[in-house]
């Protein structure tokens, strides 16, 4: 609170000093060291006297001689003759003017009026005809007009009055003629002598002449041209003598007493005001020096700091403008306030002083200090500029034109509305602008408005459809209307809707597969683990025979191996999914590798009752692969064929070269119904034996698919009823 009070006191002193400085500049030269006779009103009155005394009294124009100087030019004659059009037009106008008047007079049987109107009409018609026949006739009319205007002009010049009570006694140097008014020997506040030493008074015959120079002419709408007036001017006459303003004019009861009193009151009041302003200026540099804590120590500093820099700049300019306008106005009116002190005037001046002087000054000081402090903080101004409305507008403007059609249409609309506002105002100025405005509305504004309304309506439809999509309602498609950017946007939203629907379907499927995965893993791990626990408990019985013990140990070994295989397959799949599996590529003979794989499972094939038919090339078929991983692929596919083929059927194993690819094909008749969804067979833990009674982890095809993909090959499964066919292709070297 203390800081705020000090700031407002400081601001009040600053305003007083500013008003004082500007008033000193304006009134100081007219007040300081000057008396009433040197004031502006007296100086203006004296100038008026010296300008008009010559034409009105000392050196007036002789009307008789002036008339002789009047001239009439051919252009004036022609202008007067054709002022109202050609001869036929003027005659027709006169006939038309009198026709109705004569008819009305006849209707009331007023023969006298009828005859008078006809006579008046005929005189005018004859005068018009003479205008076109005789230049002398027109010249005489023009000369008469000019003589009348000249007489009026000279009368106005001679009857001019003076605003000051001036006494004078002047003698023509050449003729000795004396002109006087009043007594020049009485005490005076102004006195000027004219003589050979100090200079003569030059008396001109036309107002506006001063010191032998033309300064101003005022001939009204006279028919006399400026050149005619100048030609009528008399030679300049020289006068000696005295001109005074009597002192009694400023004494009580005199005609200048009020002005004299006001001048002195205003002068001494301004002296006092300037003295107080000097004391205020001293205080501003001593006891009341400005401190930035008055600003930074207030609650308003943080609030003001949160505002955009654009608003701050505009506010600062507006504050400075208000302060400037107030100081300018107050510096002009302060002399009147001091000359004519009134309680009401002081009250209104005090309110204006506080509202438009003190408050803007305090606010401007606050704004300048705040800006200075922020400028000192590194990076603050840059951050303010980046966050400004102007930068945001420019960025938005650039973004608006990312799609030129939308940006251009919006820009045209803005220009159209702006011009419409100007046109609406302009149609009240001139009728033709109203017609132009109506045409622009019909052929420009209405079509644009129609397009804008349609686009706005379509945009609302898109927004409503988008809101429906956001709530999960993905069944309704947005209607595509036309080929506008909004139509393209609607098309993109429809594509997005389809993508979301597919994504949701895939997500649902993924959740289902995840549930099945957990269930299958739990089952496949629990089955061998349960057997191991069971037979371990049986082995703890010391009464069992050696034959049973050996049998139980054999079962434990098989179940342990199955559990080991399952866990190894899980680790394998995990490595492949995470991308941590590394390949050790080398040149491998695929023919030899397949022959070894078949030989490895020869006993299993013989016991399965299946008829394996192989088609393997005799020559080498080499590829750049990881031999161990590729062995796993061949092994998985052969094992799958042994496990899941219908007993007694044939299994076809083929290795062949196709172009620059090696193809490994296995075909067999399945013992289980697989359905039609081939992709599910690649899923982890997916087995043809849905009851999961057969050995295996269900990861064989998934592991094989990953290995083939890592080698840049392809793996494809085809189903035709119970016919199962898997084809693996890999580039050969």
pLDDT band at 541 (very low <50, low <70, confident <90, very high): confident
Give the global pTM: 0.48
Each residue's pLDDT tens digit, 71-96:
888 888 999 899 889 999 999 999 99
Q: What is the largest CA-CA distance in the chain?
A: 176
Res. 238: pLDDT tops 90:
yes
- Given a contact cutoff of 8 angstroms between Cβ atoms, the answer to whether 241 and 201 are in contact is yes
Domain that holds residue 710: 582-731
* pLDDT mean across residues, the chain: 80
Average pLDDT estimate for 510-530:
65
Residues above pLDDT 90, as percent of the chain: 22
Instruction: Among 345-359, 383-397, 502-516, name the most confident range.
Output: 345-359
Average pLDDT estimate for 496-522:
67
pLDDT given for residue 262 in this prediction:
84
Task: Name the burial class of residue 19, with classes exposed (0-12), middle (13-18) and buried (19+) by CB atoms within 10 angstroms of its CB.
Answer: buried
Reference 688, options 644, 624, 642; nearest CA is 644
Q: Is residue 479 part of a domain?
A: no
CA 112 to chain centre: 78
Each residue's pLDDT tens digit, 190-224:
999 999 999 999 998 877 554 443 333 444 444 45
Q: Is residue 484 part of a domain?
A: no
Each residue's pLDDT tens digit, 29-53:
767 778 888 888 888 889 888 888 8
Count of domains forming the chain: 5
pLDDT band at 490 (very low <50, low <70, confident <90, very high): confident
Residues 229 and 263 in one domain: no
Each residue's pLDDT tens digit, 680-716:
554 443 444 444 344 444 566 777 888 888 888 999 9
More confident of the two residues 428 and 533:
533
Each residue's pLDDT tens digit, 286-327:
988 888 777 776 667 777 777 888 888 888 999 999 999 999
Residues 202 and 75 in one domain: yes
Reference 425, options 415, 436, 410, 414; nearest CA is 436
Who contacts 470 (Cβ-Cβ below 8 Å, separation ≥6)? none
Residues 151 and 51 in one domain: yes
- Given a contact cutoff of 8 angstroms between Cβ atoms, the answer to whether 185 and 83 are in contact is no
pLDDT given for residue 576 in this prediction:
60
Q: Is residue 396 part of a domain?
A: no
Q: Is residue 476 part of a domain?
A: no
DSSP H helices in 540-601: 546-578, 590-600
Measured in Å, how far apart are the chain's first and last C-alpha atoms? 91
pLDDT band at 678 (very low <50, low <70, confident <90, very high): low
pLDDT given for residue 28 in this prediction:
74
Last residue within a domain, chosen from 581, 609, 629:
581
pLDDT given for residue 215 in this prediction:
37
Residues 706 and 596 in one domain: yes
Q: Is residue 354 part of a domain?
A: yes
Res. 187: pLDDT tops 90:
yes
- Given a contact cutoff of 8 angstroms between Cβ atoms, the answer to whether 305 and 374 are in contact is yes
Res. 651: pLDDT tops 90:
yes
Res. 520: pLDDT tops 60:
no
Average pLDDT estimate for 488-499:
76
Average pLDDT estimate for 366-394:
81
Residues 60 and 194 in one domain: yes
Tell me how far apart the alpha carbons of residues 454 and 448 are, in angstroms, rounded to a whole number: 10
- Given a contact cutoff of 8 angstroms between Cβ atoms, the answer to whether 725 and 664 are in contact is no
Residues 102 and 205 in one domain: yes
Residues 157 and 17 in one domain: no
pLDDT given for residue 375 in this prediction:
82
Last residue within a domain, chosen from 581, 606, 624:
581
pLDDT given for residue 214 in this prediction:
37
Q: Is residue 564 part of a domain?
A: yes
pLDDT given for residue 696 in this prediction:
47
Q: Is residue 362 part of a domain?
A: yes
Residues 251 and 266 in one domain: no
Residues 375 and 407 in one domain: no
Instruction: Among 326-335, 508-517, 523-532, name the most confident range.
Output: 326-335
pLDDT given for residue 162 in this prediction:
77
In eight-state DSSP terms, residue 76 is: H
- Given a contact cutoff of 8 angstroms between Cβ atoms, the answer to whether 655 and 591 are in contact is yes
More confident of the two residues 439 and 95:
95
Q: Up-side HSE of residue 613: CA atoms within 13 Å toward CB?
A: 7
More confident of the two residues 532 and 729:
729
């Amino acid at each position: 609170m203390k800081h705020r009070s000090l700031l407002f006191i400081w601001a009040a002193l600053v305003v007083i000093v500013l008003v004082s400085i500007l008033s000193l500049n304006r009134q100081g030269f007219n007040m300081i060291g000057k008396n009433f006779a040197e004031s502006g009103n007296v100086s203006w009155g004296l100038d008026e006297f010296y300008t008009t005394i010559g034409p009105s009294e000392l050196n007036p124009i002789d009307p008789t001689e002036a008339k002789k100087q009047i001239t009439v030019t051919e252009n004036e004659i022609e202008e007067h003759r054709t002022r109202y059009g050609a001869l036929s037009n003027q005659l027709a106008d006169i006939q038309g003017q009198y026709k109705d008047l004569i008819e009305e007079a006849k209707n009331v049987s007023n023969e006298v009026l009828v005859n008078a109107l006809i006579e008046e009409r005929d005189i005018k018609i004859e005068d018009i005809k003479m205008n076109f026949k005789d230049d002398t006739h027109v010249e005489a009319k023009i000369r008469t007009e000019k003589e009348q205007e000249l007489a009026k002009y000279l009368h106005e010049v001679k009857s001019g009055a003076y605003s000051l009570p001036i006494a004078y006694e002047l003698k023509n140097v050449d003729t000795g003629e004396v002109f006087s008014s009043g007594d020049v020997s009485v005490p005076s506040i102004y006195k000027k002598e004219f003589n050979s030493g100090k200079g003569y008074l030059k008396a001109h015959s036309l107002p506006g002449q001063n010191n032998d120079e033309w300064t101003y002419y005022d001939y009204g709408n006279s028919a006399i041209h400026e050149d005619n007036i100048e030609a009528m001017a008399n030679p300049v006459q020289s006068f000696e003598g005295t001109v005074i303003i009597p002192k009694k004019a400023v004494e009580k009861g005199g005609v200048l007493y009020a002005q004299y009193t006001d001048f002195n009151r205003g002068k001494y009041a301004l002296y006092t005001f300037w003295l107080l302003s000097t004391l205020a200026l001293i205080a501003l540099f001593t006891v009341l020096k400005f401190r930035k804590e008055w600003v930074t120590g207030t609650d308003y500093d943080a609030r003001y700091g949160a505002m955009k820099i654009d608003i701050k700049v505009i506010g600062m300019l507006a504050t400075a403008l208000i302060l400037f306008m107030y100081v300018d106005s107050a510096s002009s009116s302060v002399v009147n306030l001091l000359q004519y002190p009134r309680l009401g005037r002081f009250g209104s001046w005090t309110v204006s002083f506080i509202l438009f002087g003190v408050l803007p000054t305090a606010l401007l000081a606050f704004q300048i200090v705040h800006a200075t402090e922020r400028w000192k903080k590194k990076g603050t101004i840059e951050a303010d500029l980046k966050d400004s409305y102007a930068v945001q507008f420019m960025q938005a403007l650039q973004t608006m034109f990312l799609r030129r059609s939308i940006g251009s249409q919006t820009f045209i609309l803005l220009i159209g509305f702006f011009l419409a506002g100007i046109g609406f105002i302009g149609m009240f100025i001139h009728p033709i602008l109203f017609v132009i405005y109506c045409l622009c509305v019909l052929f420009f504004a209405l079509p644009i408005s129609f397009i804008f309304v349609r686009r706005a309506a379509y945009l609302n439809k898109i927004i409503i459809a988008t809101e429906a999509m956001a709530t999960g309602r993905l069944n309704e498609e947005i209607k595509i209307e036309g080929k506008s950017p909004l139509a393209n946007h609607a098309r993109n939203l429809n594509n997005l809707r389809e993508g979301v629907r597919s994504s949701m379907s895939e997500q649902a499927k993924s959740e289902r597969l995840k549930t099945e995965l957990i269930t299958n893993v739990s089952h496949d791990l629990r089955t061998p683990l349960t057997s191991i626990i069971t037979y371990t408990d049986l082995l703890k019985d010391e009464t069992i025979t050696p034959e049973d013990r050996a049998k139980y140990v054999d079962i434990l070994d098989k179940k342990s191996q199955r559990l080991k295989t399952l866990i190894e397959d899980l680790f394998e799949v995990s490595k492949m999914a995470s991308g941590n599996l590394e390949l050790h590529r080398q040149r491998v003979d695929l023919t030899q590798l397949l022959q070894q794989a078949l030989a490895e499972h020869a006993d299993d094939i013989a016991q399965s009752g299946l008829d394996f038919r192989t088609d393997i090339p005799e020559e080498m078929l080499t590829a750049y692969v990881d031999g161990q991983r590729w062995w796993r692929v061949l092994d998985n596919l052969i094992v799958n064929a042994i496990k899941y083929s219908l007993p007694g059927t044939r299994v076809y194993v083929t290795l062949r070269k196709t172009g620059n690819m090696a193809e490994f094909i296995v075909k067999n008749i399945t013992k289980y119904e697989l359905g039609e969804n081939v992709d599910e067979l690649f899923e982890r833990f997916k087995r043809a034996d849905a009851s999961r009674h057969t050995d295996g982890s269900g990861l064989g095809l998934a592991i094989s698919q990953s290995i083939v993909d890592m080698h840049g090959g392809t793996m494809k499964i085809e189903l035709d009823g119970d016919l199962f066919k898997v084809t693996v292709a890999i580039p050969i070297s």
